[in-house]
Chains A and B, each alone.
Chain A
Amino acid sequence: MAIRLQDYEQIVGREEIAELSAFADRVRNKRLQNINSTAVGGGVAEILTRLVPLLGELGIEATWDVIKGDQAFFNITKTFHNALHGHPEEITREMLDHFQANTEANLKSLDLNGDVIVVHDPQPAGLIRKKKEIGRRWIWRCHIDVSSPNPEVWNFLRPMVDQYDASVFSMPDFARDLAVPQYMVPPSIDPLSDKNKPLSQSTVQEVLDKYELDSTRPILTQISRFDRLKDPLGVIAAYRLVKMNYDCQLLLAGGGAPDDPEGEVVLREVQEAAAGDPDIHVCLLPPFSDLEINALVRGSTVVMQKSIKEGFGLTVSEALWKKKPVVGGRVGGIKLQILNGVTGFLVHSPEGAARRTMQLLANPGLCRTMGENGHQHVKQNFLLTRHLKDYLFLMLSLDHPDEDIVQFYEN
């Protein structure tokens, strides 16, 4: 059965839902069109899957379109992605031309019918060239860290970004000195999705059994795509240090995504590094494994997200929501989610990750307190209902671009 807006009342309270509806009243006559590059896999697709129907329930005609591209296009955008994260990459004229040609092809097939068009990430950013012809309000929603990008790719992208009416970043660190207004909208998790909803202990146990994990010994878990920026080899290094003192297990689990062709190469590297240790479980999960991911996190003792670079790292909020302390890299959005020493620990190295993990394994009480704090922190800041409201505020902001305080009150 489809999840309804009302179902969130039990989690965030009736007032919060009433408030959403009150703000939605002020933008109800506008169509909101989202455009991204993948319908499944990755945080953006997950968020849109949830947000679009709920916006609809609030009376806003929200739609979601996905641009098309061949394998070469997605290889190029993956290279762009790494380059925007500051990774050295070779960018050729041919790549830029292919990107532009792909944009042209999508402009021919896409029906750009929104009053407000939200374009997610760099892949579809070039669609903005249609603005001159059709007008409308355009928002570039950047989910990735572009704070120290490869200049070649950024110089290519920047003239596109400057044509939007507003840009949106997940956190202050990602912002650039742009000509257009920049807003912060952190992403969110859905507490009622298969990945986050409450599960019975028996369901958790069944999944642990299926993956041959022993619930009587500590389980350290990192859920992420097999991507070098998530540092899976660093996690294995940290685990090896912890293993010297604690008889623990390591689970590295994640899915693939159609726009991430590099994943297979990294997976092989991880499998090679883990070879010979039966307590390291490397699992490439098929699509639609959300319920299992939920159970695996719930069955874990400590969750890790030892990224070297990160867009936001929503896996952190997913674990905190399940009351798990998280040891994460002090990068990107992880810094907003892990309040150091309150909801988990921020670290810089495998050695730091190992030390903090051992501190947690030695103190079950600390694990519980941090877990509770993490749950509250996510409830206040990173749930889908807050995200919904931010979308309404973004639409309102386009109507009130120059006001710091938009007053809808009577005093």
Chain B
Amino acid sequence: MPHSEPFVFNTERRLVVLTGQKARNLPELLAILKRISESSIFYHSHEEYFLSRQFARHEFYNDFSLWISEALQEEPLAEKLAAIDLLSFSSIRQIRERMVAEIAAFLESTGGRARECPAGDEFHFCRAKSFVVPTGIVARDLPDFLNRLPSVSDTSLYFHFFEARLRLGRITNDFSFWLSGIGQEALADEIDRLNPYAMTLDELRRRIIQLGLKRLGD
């Protein structure tokens, strides 16, 4: 049965937690990657995407790829890690397993040869401590949702789309989850199939609005 609960837009603020763990080469990165918290893996696989929304800064959108490219200059591996489709995983555990497998295979292919990064360029493992609060923006129904989406901040959008699915372990993004609940299963499914890693947050917002308007027009 469809419900009539409103959608409450939340946003997230964060304090970066430093783990004190650092890697100077791939074997060290691999060893830490195997044991570090899921929270740290999420942070490093998503943070650069989030920060880069302002400037077109880098070719690679995860911290591991960036570091492997810039500090170790192992481009083939950097490219492989950057190409991992995060959307195809439903848990951080799977992302970890895939990254570990890629790095291990690369090390095997090089016969264990591992470059050291220059001093001062070590990879420092971090994670985020997040504080989640309501934005005060609430949508009653689909038209209201689409009206309010333009005024929702990038951080809020990011929280409901990326964090909710992987970090909070929900089955889909928050928008799709809510839309399914109000009887908009088809739209929910279309939004769920968007690849947010292939676009900026602004494009993602526009795309959701387009899909919603199209659905309302049908």
Contacts and interface: CB of A to CB of B under 8 A. Distances in A.
Interface of A: 19, 22-23, 169, 172-173, 175-178, 181-185, 330-331, 339, 342, 373, 376-377, 380, 389-390, 393-394, 396-397, 400, 403-411
23 contacts: A19-B13, A172-B18, A172-B126, A173-B122, A173-B124, A175-B18, A175-B124, A176-B20, A182-B20, A183-B15, A184-B17, A184-B126, A339-B55, A342-B57, A380-B54, A393-B14, A404-B128, A404-B129, A406-B129, A408-B133, A408-B134, A411-B10, A411-B174
Chain B contact residues (Cβ within 8 angstroms of A): what range?
Answer: 20 to 34
B166 to A, nearest CB: 12
Contact of A390 (B15, B55, B168): B15
B120 A389 contact: no
A58 to B, nearest CB: 15
B5 to A, nearest CB: 9
Contact of A404 (B122, B124, B127): B127
Given A19-B133, A23-B131, A173-B124, 14 more contacts: A173-B122, A175-B20, A181-B17, A183-B16, A184-B126, A185-B15, A330-B120, A393-B15, A404-B127, A404-B129, A404-B167, A405-B168, A406-B129, A408-B133
Nearest to A174: B18
Please indicate which of the listed interface residues A178, A408, A409, A410 has the most CB atoms of chain B within 10 Å of its own CB. Answer: A409
The SS class assigned to the A binding surface is: mixed
A389 B11 CA distance: 14
B103 to A, nearest CB: 20
Contact of A182 (B17, B55, B57, B167): B17
A400 B21 CA distance: 22
Interface string B149-161: 0000000000000
B132 interface: yes
Contact of B133 (A331, A342, A400, A409): A409
Given A404-B39, A409-B134, A411-B174, A339 B15 contact: no
B132 A408 contact: yes
A60 to B, nearest CB: 16
Interface string B1-33: 000000010100111111111000000000000
B61 to A, nearest CB: 15
A252 B189 CA distance: 61
Interface in B16-67: 16-21, 37, 39, 54-55, 57
B102 to A, nearest CB: 23
B73 interface: no
B37 to A, nearest CB: 8
